[in-house]
Amino acid sequence: MPANPDWLVDALSVSKPDAVTAICRLSNELDINIVNAEKVFADVVRELNAQFYPPLSKMELTVTEQCNLACTYCFEEGMKSPKLMSRETARKAIDLLFDYAAPETELTITFFGGEPMLNLPLIEWSVDYLKTHPKYQNRPLNLQMTSNGTLIDEVTAPRLAELGVRVLISIDGLKETNDHHRVYRSGRGSFDDIAQGIKALKPHQPWVGVKITVMPDDANKIFENVMGLREIGINQFIIGHATGVTWSDENRQYFLEQMTALKEWYERENPSEFRISDFEETDTAMGYFGCSAARSTIAISVDGQVSPCSKILGIDSNTPLALLGSVNYGLYRLATRRNLLSCSKLENACTKAGIAQTYKGGCFASNMTDAGDLFLPSMTDYDFSILWQKVTG
């Protein structure tokens, strides 16, 4: 052990620890080579996280930054490059998740992008590595992928099912709505290809869920879009308003009216084989500000940096905000993780704005986009939280 490890306390308590310098000093003081010093550092960091913070249980893996679409509202504006995640990075990321998770807990891994289907070989390799990992031990695994659906076909659909990867498709509605914003670089709409993908997927994944992003100019068509997508085989809906865009009073009113109509239909008809996640009765009351980002969830960038979540990562993957660490050394930015979990600045800001009683600060990424700071509430998101309360009653 170092004669006096106080320097390591100082090194790890700052907002941006210099892991490389700390490892070099450990190597010198412990008289071990750099490889062993890296291992010691990572182990210390892991143990400190276990002492101070909750275990991880969810990880988003950015398997590629490539995407074959050019959706106008893409939140990953800061993530558009030909980068692909390597097996080495995926291996280290999976090792990290097992190391930071509590024993026997269910682990959720979401394969993300860009468009993750553009790196299917890595997904296949990762699933195999997961299930043969010495720490797997048949614990519950929830494997998911968020995809634009355009590259799912009669070959890839059964393969995904075989791997146990459940697909959540991003689609905004029927053709007219979807093709407003979910387009190829040429401007051509993606709906027809997504519909083919859904058709190919259904026999192998009978329960298909979608994520709808409601843009202001389509807020008056939510009901018809959900009904129409139900007709083509969609079973579950996650509906969210677009962030980082301007919502007029009129469009907000449309959103309220459409979601209210949908909720009334949902309760009246009680349709089988159909769920709208946002209407489910769950105890979502949180005792803390912020969200699960950095609490139980992390996101891994294509080159192995650890971010609180994919949305924060998407803001700028070259210079990630609120970086937590790396797959090489673990979550060594302990002060950053503390800030994200305690959210004292966010709580104070919500209290000052008079909204803290009912609003726990929302999404860090939306806050950054709308308010310019992860820890200042997006008042647009707050307004929508009020709208949702009116919808759900």
Partner 1 sequence: MSETKISTNETQAADITKAIQAQLAEKLFGTNILNAGSNMHECNKPKFSCGEYTCKTNTHSCSGDFDCKNSFTDDQCNRHFKCGQTFNCHGKYEE
Residue ranges binding partner 1 (CB under 8 A): 1-2, 5-6, 8-10, 12-13, 30, 32, 35-36, 39-40, 43-44, 47-48, 51-55, 57-58, 102, 104-106, 140, 282-283, 286-288, 292, 295-296, 334-335, 338, 341-342
Beta bridge partners of 147: 169
Nearest residue (CB) to partner 1, 68 versus 292: 292
Q: Which of 144, 112, 88, 133 is nearest to 303 (CA)?
A: 88
Residue 6 beta carbon to partner 1: minimum distance, rounded to whole angstroms: 7
Please provide the DSSP assignment of 295-349 as one string. TTEEEE-TTSEEES-HHHHHH-SSS-TT--EETTTBS--HHHHHHHHH-HHHHHH
CB atoms near residue 120 (< 10 Å): 20
Rounded CA gap, 38 and 42, in Å?
6
Q: Which is nearer to partner 1, 177 or 297 (by Cβ)?
A: 297
CB 170 → partner 1: shortest distance, Å?
A: 24
Numbers of helices and strands, H then E, in the chain: 15, 10
Say how far apart CA 254 and CA 220 lie, in whole Å: 5
User: Measured from the CB of residue 34, what is the shortest distance to partner 1 in angstroms?
Assistant: 12
Residue nearer to partner 1 on the CB measure, 4 or 246: 4
Interatomic CA distance for residues 107 and 130, integer angstroms:
10
Q: Measured from the CB of residue 166, what is the shortest distance to partner 1 in angstroms?
A: 16
Indicate the residue among 81 and 105 with the shorter CB distance to partner 1.
105
Q: Which residue, 44 or 157, has its beta carbon nearer to partner 1?
A: 44
Q: Give the nearer residue to partner 1 in terms of CB position, either 51 or 270.
A: 51
d(CA 144, CA 300): 15
* Phi, psi of 316, rounded to the nearest 5 degrees: -160, 100
Min. distance of Cβ 188 from partner 1 in angstroms? 40
Contact 258, 223 (CB under 8 A): yes
Of 339 and 380, which has the nearer Cβ to partner 1? 339
Least distance CB 94 / partner 1 (angstroms): 18
Q: How far is the CB of 381 from partner 1 (least distance, A)?
A: 19
How many other CB atoms are there within 10 angstroms of residue 34's CB atom? Answer: 12
